[in-house]
């Protein structure tokens, strides 16, 4: 047995792993990523780590530390929505990209633009699995803009886009990275240890993230559609319209669908990993651009999920993000219009509420002497002012109870 890494030990003991893959990516074979019950990607150490690998993981793993938002001091910072230079809604102008994309196809259009115009040599993101592993989300390095269409759409299952990061840094090419907010945080933190990160990854894009459900969650969706998970050869969580439907296809030609609200609200959201419930930056605050669903609010103030032409919220956070978006706008591959912070509150009410409760939930970790991620500069305390004391208390007590019962 190798000497256990203190960093990996703390993150696994605290159930703080988000599955980003960075530890495996930097450990040169000493850490493997494996599916662990109930269906999350988790690291398993197979050999000793060097002191440098240990300190990289301790300083970059999003279960232990989170990237600050204020990397570019002149930007405005909202405690719920993070740093921003420009707030927009928009969509890809290519109808196929807009249709296949999760919301407005913005992320895919920006990736295609950056790749097609030589701003980067390849895009690193995850694809939907197929064949025997339709629920897997393998990391891919894509150097053909047309091939990016296959990566479009949100996959509400485990993904580890940093699992090959050291190889990519050695590769010599420049990449655009797309990943969950915690993946981008880990990449930024890695940049504190390896100066090549900034040069080889000139753009990091992300999206708002309601959390990663386990594969058990996806299997429950398939079963509720009346199909057996073992028979399924292709699965989409959404997209093909906005929000589109979850769709499963069996290898013998049967198919079934489920609407977005039932799929996420009725099934997947009940299987989200613990780290997501205390996420201090689920809005991609460390990314150059973060996209999200620009939901239209109904009379109740709650977003409406009827199918429409896709529309993405686009938060431009850094100078690099602004230059990418401006160039894409100038070439007409995306269309955008301005929006404001108050509009985002209406588009994304549950994200705002979630952020306001992070302080209470992490206080429960402190009270039960559990490991917790270090986060400074992501406005957790400021955001907490937005939640009534009653809600804070209920979340503190609820999280404490779950930790004590081992149900987190």
Ligand X SMILES: Cc1cc2nc3c(=O)[nH]c(=O)nc-3n(C[C@H](O)[C@H](O)[C@H](O)COP(=O)(O)OP(=O)(O)OC[C@H]3O[C@@H](n4cnc5c(N)ncnc54)[C@H](O)[C@@H]3O)c2cc1C
What are 303's strand-pairing partners? 297
Q: Is 269 helix (H, G, I), strand (E, B) or coil?
A: helix
Residue 303 interacting with ligand X (CB under 6 A): no
Residue 104 interacting with ligand X (CB under 6 A): yes
Residue 303 interacting with ligand SF4 (CB under 6 A): no
Residue list 18-47, contact with ligand X (CB under 6 A): none
Our CB check for ligand X shows the closer of 14 and 210 to be: 210
Residue list 102-131, contact with ligand SF4 (CB under 6 A): none
Nearest one of 369, 44, 361, 109 to 211, comparing CA atoms:
361
The DSSP-derived string for 226-244 is T--GGGEEEEESSBSSBSB
Residue list 11-30, contact with ligand SF4 (CB under 6 A): 11, 17-23
Tokens of 24: 């495996």
From the number of C-beta atoms within 10 Å of its C-beta (0-12, 13-18, 19+), residue 164 rates as middle
Residue 106 interacting with ligand X (CB under 6 A): yes
Our CB check for ligand SF4 shows the closer of 33 and 128 to be: 33
Residue 60 interacting with ligand X (CB under 6 A): no
Our CB check for ligand SF4 shows the closer of 22 and 111 to be: 22
Largest CA distance in the chain: 59
**In angstroms, what is the minimal distance from the CB of 297 to ligand X?**
13
Residue 182 interacting with ligand SF4 (CB under 6 A): yes
Between CA 251 and CA 232 the distance in angstroms is: 6
Residue whose C-beta lies closest to ligand X: 210
Neighbours of 193 (CB within 10 A): 15
Between CA 127 and CA 385 the distance in angstroms is: 39
Residue 178 interacting with ligand X (CB under 6 A): yes
DSSP classification of residue 270: G
Task: Give me the 136-155 binding string for ligand X, x by CB under 6 A, dash otherwise.
Answer: -x-------------xxxxx
Residue 107 interacting with ligand X (CB under 6 A): yes
In the list ligand SF4, ligand X, none, the entry touching 191 (Cβ below 5 to 8 angstroms by class) is none
> Do 246 and 257 form a contact (C-beta atoms < 8 A)?
yes
Residue ranges that bind ligand SF4, judged by CB under 6 A: 8, 11, 17-23, 43, 57, 61-63, 180-182, 209, 211-212, 275-276, 279, 282
């Amino acid at each position: 047995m190798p000497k256990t890494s203190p960093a990996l030990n703390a993150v696994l003991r605290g159930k703080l792993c988000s599955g980003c893959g960075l530890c495996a990516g930097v450990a040169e074979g000493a850490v493997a990523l494996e599916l662990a019950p109930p269906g999350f990607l988790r690291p398993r150490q197979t050999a000793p780590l060097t002191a440098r690998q240990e300190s990289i993981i301790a300083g970059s793993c999003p279960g232990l530390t989170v990237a600050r938002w204020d990397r570019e001091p002149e930007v405005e910072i909202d405690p719920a929505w993070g740093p921003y230079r420009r707030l927009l809604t928009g969509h890809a102008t290519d109808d196929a990209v807009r249709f296949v994309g999760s919301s407005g196809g913005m992320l895919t259009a920006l990736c295609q633009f950056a790749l097609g115009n030589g701003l980067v040599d390849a895009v690193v993101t995850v694809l939907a699995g197929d064949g025997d592993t339709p629920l897997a989300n393998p990391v891919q390095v894509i150097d053909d803009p047309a091939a990016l269409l296959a990566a479009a759409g949100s996959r509400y299952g485990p993904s580890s886009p940093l699992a090959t990061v050291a190889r990519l840094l050695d590769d010599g090419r420049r990449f655009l990275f797309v990943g969950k907010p915690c993946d981008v945080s880990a990449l930024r933190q890695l940049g504190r240890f390896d100066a090549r990160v900034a040069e080889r990854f000139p753009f990091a894009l992300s999206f708002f993230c309601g959390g990663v459900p386990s594969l058990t969650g996806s299997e429950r969706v398939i079963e509720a559609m009346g199909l057996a998970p073992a028979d399924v050869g292709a699965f989409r969580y959404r997209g093909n319209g906005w929000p589109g439907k979850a769709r499963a296809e069996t290898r013998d030609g049967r198919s079934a669908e489920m609407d977005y609200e039932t799929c996420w609200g009725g099934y997947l959201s009940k299987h989200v990993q613990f780290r997501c419930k205390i996420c201090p930056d689920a809005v991609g605050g460390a990314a150059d651009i973060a996209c999200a669903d620009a939901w239209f609010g109904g009379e109740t103030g709650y977003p409406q999920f009827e199918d429409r032409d896709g529309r993405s919220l686009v938060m431009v956070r850094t100078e690099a993000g602004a230059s990418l978006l401006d160039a894409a706008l100038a070439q007409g591959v995306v269309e955008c219009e301005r929006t404001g912070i108050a509009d985002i509150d209406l588009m994304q009410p549950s994200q705002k509420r979630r952020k306001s409760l992070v302080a209470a939930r992490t206080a429960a970790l402190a009270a039960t002497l559990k490991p917790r991620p270090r986060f400074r500069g992501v406005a957790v305390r400021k955001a907490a002012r937005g939640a009534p004391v009653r809600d804070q208390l209920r979340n503190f007590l609820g999280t404490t109870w779950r930790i004590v019962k081992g149900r987190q």
